[in-house]
Structure 1
Amino acid sequence: MYTAEEFKNQYKSANQTDLSKAKAVMDIIHKVQESGDDALIDYARQFDGVELDSDQLEVPIAEMRKAYNELDSELRDALEEAYKQIYKYQESIKWSTMPKSELYQNIQPLNRIGIYVPGGKASYPSTVLMTATLANVAGVRETIIVTPPQPGGINKTTLAACFIAQVDHVYQSGGAQGIAAMAYGTETIPKVDKIVGPGNQYVALAKKLVYGDVGIDSIAGPSEIVLVVDETANEEWVALDVLAQAEHDEMARTFLISTNKEKLAAVEAEIDKQKLKQSRLSVINGSLKDHHYTILTSGKRETIEIVNLIAGEHVSIQTKNAEEYISEIKTAGALFIGPYSPEAIGDYVAGPSHVLPTNGNARFANGLTVNDFLRTNSVIQLKKETFQKMAPFGMRIAKEEELQAHHDSLAVRWKEEEK
C-alpha cells in the first residue's frame, strides 16, 4: 500500500512501444510493401502457424453470414442489442454541418477505414462492434477488418459481429504485417485512409511507423483502470472490477485509491478470494504481481490529484456523491460514475467506444467516436461587402511578412471594388 506521496515518487508510465522491436517491425513493413500478399502468406506461416493461399486471405461474406446464422439466440440478441446501443449513442454525438453562411465547415465521412481486431490470447467481437458501428454512423463508404489467422479459422463470434456491423471485407492477417497491408495495400487488401483498433506491441509500433502515410486513432498501451472507493463501496463488486481489468493480459494495470485504509484492505482481501474463481488466473496473477497499485490518500483533493496524474484509460468512481468528481477529473479516457456503471458495461453495451487512450494519453487524447471517421473542411464564401472590410487587414499583414503576391492578390480585388 502506497501513500499518495510514495506513489508519486515511484510512478512511471508504462512503455507503450518497445523501441528495441522497431527494426524488426520496419523490416516487416518493408517486406509487405515489396512483396504484398506473398509476405502476408509467409508471415501467417511464420507467426501464426497457418498455411494460407492468396485466395484465402479474404474471408467470404457468406462465411460471416453463416457464423451469424449459427449463433445461439441469446448471444445473437446480446450482440444485436450492443450494436443498437452503440449506434444510438454515436448518432447522438455525431457532428453536424453548421448552417451555411459566408464561413462554415463542411463535414464528410472518410472513404475507406481499416480496423485491427486482435485474435491471439482471446477473440474480441466487442472490438468489431465498438469500431465498425462508428464507421457506419459516420457514413464511411468502405470498412475493412484485418485479424490474425487462426489454425481453426477466424473466431465465429467475431465473424458474426462483422456481419452485424456490416463490415465490407475481413482479411486474415495479424500483427505489424496486417497494419502494413492496410497502410500501403497489397494485391488483395486495399490501402485505407485511417487505421483504428487495439493490438500488441508490434501492432502499436507498426501504427506509429506508418502514421503520416495513413491516419491512425492512437498508439495503444496496456489496458488500465483507476478505481476510487470509499466506505460505501461494495467490496466484492470493486474486487471483480479490478479482476476484470487484470484478466486482459499480464501487463494490464490497476489502481485502487481511497482515503479509507480499512476499505482498501478489505477490497484487497476480496481480490485474493475472488481471483481463485477466475479461469484466467495465471494472467490475473501476472498483472496483479507487477502492475497493481493500492494508494491511500489524505482527502478528496489528494485523490483527484492522483487520478489526474495517472490519466487512466478507465476511471471508476464508487463513492457517495460520486458525480461530484466529474468536473474535477480532467484526464480520463472514460468516466464510470457510481456502482451501477462498472467498466465492463462500457466494454460491451453502454454505447461509448471501448477504444480509449492509455498510458496517460488522456492528457491530450479522447476515446474513439463517430467523429474520428469524419473529416471537415472550411468553406469560405465571402460577399463583396465582407471582403472589403477584411482585405485591408490582410494586406497589412502580408506587407509585414514581405509576401508581395499575397498583398497584391487582395489589393487588386479591393481596389477594383473601391473604384
Structure 2
Amino acid sequence: MIDKTTFLNTGLKQSTLNEDLYPIIKDICDNVKHLGDEALRSYNQTFDQVETTQLEIDISTLQDAYHRLDEDLRQALHQSHERISAYQQSIKQSEQQGSSECYEMYHPLESVGVYVPGGKASYPSTVLMTVTLAKVAGVEHIYVVTPPQQQGIPDIVLAACYIAGVDRIFQVGGAQSIAALAYGTETIPKVDKVVGPGNQYVAYAKKYLFGQVGIDQIAGPSEIALIIDETADLDAIVYDVFAQAEHDELARTFVISENYACLQQLEHKIQQTLSTIERQPIVEASLSNHHFLIHASSFTEACDLMNTIAPEHASIQTATPRDYLNHVRYVGALFLGHYSPEVIGDYVAGPSHVLPTNQTARFTNGLSVNDFLTRHSVIDLTQDTFSEIEGTARQLAHVEQLFNHEHSIKIRTTKEHYNNDKN
C-alpha cells in the first residue's frame, strides 16, 4: 500500500515504446513499400513461421466458418454485434450541424483497415468492436488484417468478420500489415485509416506511418483503475484485477480507496487466490511489477488520482458510484457499480473497447462511429451577412500584410456599390 505522494513520485511512470524497435520498424515498413507482397510473405515465414502463398482469405470461407460454430456461440456474437451497432447508431453525428449560413457536414471514410491481434489467442470481440463502427458510419471498403496461424485463422474470428460485414480479410500481422495498409501492395489495398489494438510493433508502425495513413491511437499496455470502499464485493474486485492483468505481463492495475483496511483485505484475497487461477504466470508477472494499491485521504484525492492516472478503464465500486460522475473526467471508459464490470465492456455493453491508454485519455477518447467520419465546414453567406463582416476581414488582412486577401474582399464591396448605384 502506498499514499498519493509516494505513488505520484514512484508508481506513475508512463509505459513507453521500446526505442530499440524504431530502426527495425522502419526497415519493415520500407521493405513492404518497395517489395509489396514479396515482403509480406517473407515476414509471415520469419515472424509467424507460416508459409502463405495466398495472402487473402476467400470471402466465402467466412460464412462457412460461421455455420461451423455452435449455435450458442453464434447467438453470443449476434447479441454483441446488435448492442454495439445500436449504441453506435445512437451517438453517430448528424449530417448537418450549425446555422443556415455556417455549418458542418459529415461523410464516411472510403476505406478502413482493421488490425485484429492473433497468435496466442483469438479476438472476435476486436472485430465486432471496430468493424461494426465502420459499418454504421457507412465506410464503403472495410478490410481486416490478422496474423497467419499454422492451423488457419480461427472460425470464431472469421465468423465475427462475417457478422460484422468485412469486405476482405488478409492473413498478415505485425508492423508489416500496417505498412501494407498504408502503402498498398499488389494484394492489399491502400486505406485511409488504420484502427485496432496490437503489440509494440503494431503501435510503433502506426506512429511511423501516421500522416501516410490515419490512425486511431498509439496503444500501450492495457490498464484499469478502480475506486472501492467497504461496500465493494472484494471477491469480485479480485477477479476484476486478474482480468486486466491476464492480458499480458505489462498490463497495469490500480486500486484506490479511502479505506486502508479495505485495501489490506483486498491484497490478502489477491494473494490467497493467485495460485489457483488460470494464466497464473502472466497475472503474477503483471501484479509483481505493475499493480498498485493506493490509499487516498479523501473523496477529492481519490478523484484527483483517477484523473492523473487517466486509465483506459475506470471502475467505481462504492456505495454511491454516480457521485463520481462529475469529478472523474479523464478516462477511456467509466464503469459504475457492481453490475458494470469492465469485462462487460470488453464484449457486449455497446461502446468500443478500443480505448486510450498510457494517460492519453487526458487528451483523446475511445474509438467510436464518429472516428470513421470526416467533417468539413460549409460557409454559405448571404449578401447582408457579407456586408456586415467584410470590414473586419479587410482590416485583419491589411494588418497581416496579405494585400491580395484584402483586395479579394474589396473588389466585391466595390462591385456591390457599383451595382447598387447603377440600379
Query: TM-score, with normalisation over the residues of structure 2?
Result: 0.97
Q: Which secondary structure does the structure 1 equivalent of 2:370 belong to?
A: helix
Do 2:178 and 2:206's aligned partners in 1 also have CA atoms closer than 8 Å?
A: yes
Residue equivalent to 2:333: 334
User: Matched residues, percent identical?
Assistant: 51
Amino acid of the residue matched to residue 230 of structure 2? E
Distance in 2 between residues matched to 1:182 and 1:337, nearest whole Å? 38
Give the direction of change, closer, same or farther, for the CA distance of 1:17–1:144 in structure 2 (3 Å limit). same
Residue equivalent to 2:7: 7
Q: Which secondary structure does the structure 2 equivalent of 1:277 belong to?
A: coil
Task: Using the TM superposition, give the Cα deviation of residue 306 of structure 1 relative to its aligned residue in structure 2, in angstroms.
Answer: 1.0
- Equivalent residues in 2 for 1:333-412, closer than 5 Å: 333-412=332-411
- Equivalent residues in 2 for 1:165-244, closer than 5 Å: 165-244=164-243
1:50 aligns with 2:63: no
Do 1:148 and 1:175's aligned partners in 2 also have CA atoms closer than 8 Å?
A: yes
Distance in 1 between residues matched to 2:32 and 2:374, nearest whole Å? 28
- Equivalent residues in 2 for 1:9-408, closer than 5 Å: 9-53=9-53, 56-98=54-96, 101-408=100-407
Task: Give me the CA root mean square deviation.
Answer: 1.0
Do 1:16 and 1:219's aligned partners in 2 also have CA atoms closer than 8 Å?
A: no
Q: How big is each residue's C-alpha offset from its partner over 1:110-133, in whole Å with a ceiling of 9 and x where there is no partner? A: 000001111022111000000000
Query: TM-score, with normalisation over the residues of structure 1?
Result: 0.98
Amino acid of the residue matched to residue 35 of structure 1? L
Task: Using the TM superposition, give the Cα deviation of residue 278 of structure 1 relative to its aligned residue in structure 2, in angstroms.
Answer: 2.4
Q: Which secondary structure does the structure 1 equivalent of 2:249 belong to?
A: coil
Q: How big is each residue's C-alpha offset from its partner over 1:47-105, in whole Å with a ceiling of 9 and x where there is no partner? A: 0000111xx20111111111101110111100100000000000000000236721111
Q: Which secondary structure does the structure 1 equivalent of 2:43 belong to?
A: helix
Task: Using the TM superposition, give the Cα deviation of residue 11 of structure 1 relative to its aligned residue in structure 2, in angstroms.
Answer: 2.6
Aligned residues: 417
Residue equivalent to 2:421: none
Q: How big is each residue's C-alpha offset from its partner over 1:238-291, in whole Å with a ceiling of 9 and x where there is no partner? A: 111000000100000000111111111211222223333322111111111111
Q: Which secondary structure does the structure 1 equivalent of 2:294 belong to?
A: strand
Distance in 1 between residues matched to 2:68 and 2:143, nearest whole Å? 23
Q: Which secondary structure does the structure 2 equivalent of 1:189 belong to?
A: coil
Do 1:233 and 1:339's aligned partners in 2 also have CA atoms closer than 8 Å?
A: yes
Q: Which runs of 4+ in 1 moved over 6 A?
A: none
Do 1:82 and 1:348's aligned partners in 2 also have CA atoms closer than 8 Å?
A: yes
Q: Which secondary structure does the structure 1 equivalent of 2:96 belong to?
A: coil
Amino acid of the residue matched to residue 166 of structure 1? G
Question: What stretches of structure 2 of length at least 5 have no aligned partner?
Answer: 419-423
Do 1:16 and 1:204's aligned partners in 2 also have CA atoms closer than 8 Å?
A: no
Amino acid of the residue matched to residue 58 of structure 1? E
**Bigger shift: 300-309 or 369-378?**
300-309
Task: Using the TM superposition, give the Cα deviation of residue 225 of structure 1 relative to its aligned residue in structure 2, in angstroms.
Answer: 0.1
Q: Which secondary structure does the structure 1 equivalent of 2:256 belong to?
A: strand
Distance in 2 between residues matched to 1:397 and 1:418, nearest whole Å? 22
**Bigger shift: 10-19 or 21-30?**
10-19
Amino acid of the residue matched to residue 104 of structure 1? Y
Distance in 2 between residues matched to 1:200 and 1:327, nearest whole Å? 34
Do 1:16 and 1:201's aligned partners in 2 also have CA atoms closer than 8 Å?
A: no
Task: Using the TM superposition, give the Cα deviation of residue 144 of structure 1 relative to its aligned residue in structure 2, in angstroms.
Answer: 0.4
Distance in 2 between residues matched to 1:348 and 1:122, nearest whole Å? 15
